[in-house]
Amino acid sequence: MVWLLASAFSVGHSGSEPSVFTFLAPGEPVESLKWRKTRINRARWFSKQLWSHWFTIFEAKGYVEANRWLNQIYERMKLGNTGLFIDADDAEIKDYAIAKTRLIALDTRDAARRLDSKTAVFTIKTLFERIGIAFPLKDRYREDDYNIQKVMAAIARIEDPRWLARQLRNKASRAMEAICRELGMVQRNKAAYISEFSLRRYFYRQNSNRKLLEKLVATNDLGQQYTLAELADLGISNPAIRRTELMVRLRGFETWAENDTRAWTPWFLTLTTPSKYHPISGAGGRSKLNPKFNGSTPADAQQYLNKTWQRARAKLDRQGIEYFGFRVAEPHHDGTPHWHLLLFVAKEHQSTLLKIMRTYALAEDGDELGAQKHRFEAVRIDPEKGSATGYVAKYISKNVDGYKVDTDNETGKAAPLSAIRAGAWASIWGIRQFQQIGGPPVTPWRELRRTDDISNQLADTLTIEEDRLLAIHNAADEGDWAQYIELMGGGICKRSDRPLRAKYFVEPEAGEYGEDVARLTGLLSAFGHEVKTRLRTWTVSMAPKASILIPTSGYMHTGPPEPAPLEFCQ
């Protein structure tokens, strides 16, 4: 804490601005100086940058405009109407959530007792949203779509301190990161992808989650026990496994495209956002705050890219353009996302696809400087120069764990370190980094790979359909995504026409908040044959394995109120 306060009292920017404690603008009253010092010192993590930015505005527009801007930042530093600030630590947020949910429960009971159902819900929603967190139901509430189960689930959430604490953490993290980006603290020469404060907060949360997973034990009906940390390390939560699976699927797409009877051309496309989504302009030593920046967050930029792709995809579908592949979302050095797409396009459709993609990529601010060159780039992958998978491999690796990538060209730093920052960036902003486009679903693949043998679930004399199921299982078990694609109907096939799909069982009111829960139980063939892949029943509790020690008091000791069924165990 001493070094933190010290940083707040050493305000200045390379000696170019006077001290915040002594500088008084011409005509500025002393009370304004005191007011300004209080607000700048409260911004402990970015007080230097805040003072520097204030001084820049002062020189251009005067102290009144600079103070007006400073007050806007100060209001944004407040964590809603909680009385906390966005740099509040986890203990403060938990304490507030516990106290507030008790009051919410009292308000809910009072409203339910005095008012009719519709008015009660509206009242509860209004009271809750004063905190600054959205009520977990649709904004439009109508009598004809009233669903008592959804309403009760929403009320159960707002009365749960754990749920409220999660919402407050997310809000605080994004608000803090948005301010840091606007102040130029997120860029190549300072902190690429994500601010140092947010990275530390992310590490703290990851460490806390890991400790909890190590204390939660899954037990099956055979009495076998594993910590959730052990199970997580066996699935795609493990970066190495995640990267390997992505590479296997990418290579499988390429192999299938090469061997298919139709001609497929691989294209590597890059889609970026307009300048107004970037807080920083320029590159390297020439980077500076972007005067066109409109205050958008990475989540806003990701939404723009999603909408652009949705419009292009709809046009492609209307014209019958066929393609499949993968999409990677990664950050620019200033945290603004851009997309890379590896698409295998039917040879006769490639020129039409490129034209449609370019049109929609330039639909917004397409006439701005540099838009024609940077907003949409298309590179045809020449097999004689390298494989499509090899072309994309570095983008996968440097956004997962940096495996076999020396340096991240976007940041100039070691790729494994940049991968950690990219993961933290995606986590904070809720951005899905990798997405398959077309092709067969991956859920049956994963389910088949976790099942040793399905022959005992089939008849002694196999039908053509059952023989195909065995072949699909063998392809998945051997990690042959290309053969899996072929047996599942090819790269271009409607999901409803696939021979195998995931099967779910809906358990009424089994969720933590009383909602129906769809549990994956196995697979279902197009002819109605069921393949069971979830053969064990699991429960999760805080009961420790013999080698695990847990605290004797506090939340980590008490844990969840009841054992919960394990959704996924691999």
Catalytic annotation, residues: 391, 395
- Cα(185)–Cα(282) distance, integer angstroms: 15
> Is the separation of the CB atoms in 308 and 376 below 8 Å?
no
Place of tokens 């979302």: 329
> Is the separation of the CB atoms in 181 and 193 below 8 Å?
no
DSSP bridge pairs for 265: 345
Residues 6+ apart with CB under 8 A from 241: 234, 235
> Is the separation of the CB atoms in 293 and 182 below 8 Å?
yes
- Cα(366)–Cα(362) distance, integer angstroms: 4
CB 289: neighbour CB atoms within 10 A? 15
Place of tokens 């920046």: 293
- Cα(133)–Cα(79) distance, integer angstroms: 10
- Cα(238)–Cα(114) distance, integer angstroms: 51
Q: Are strands 376-380 and 538-541 parallel, antiparallel or unpaired?
A: unpaired
DSSP per position, 227-265? EHHHHHTTSTTSHHHHHHHHHHHHHHHHHHHHHSSS-EE
- At residue 328, what is the residue type? V
DSSP bridge pairs for 346: 264
Q: Exposure string (b/e) for 127-161, b if CB count within 10 Å is 16 or more?
A: bbeebebebbbeeeeeeeeeeeebbebbbbbbbbb
By the 10 Å C-beta count (0-12 exposed, 13-18 middle, 19+ buried), 35 is classed as: middle
- Cα(115)–Cα(110) distance, integer angstroms: 8
> Is the separation of the CB atoms in 340 and 268 below 8 Å?
yes
> Is the separation of the CB atoms in 284 and 188 below 8 Å?
yes
Both tokens of 61, joined, read: 């527009």
Both tokens of 400, joined, read: 């997962």
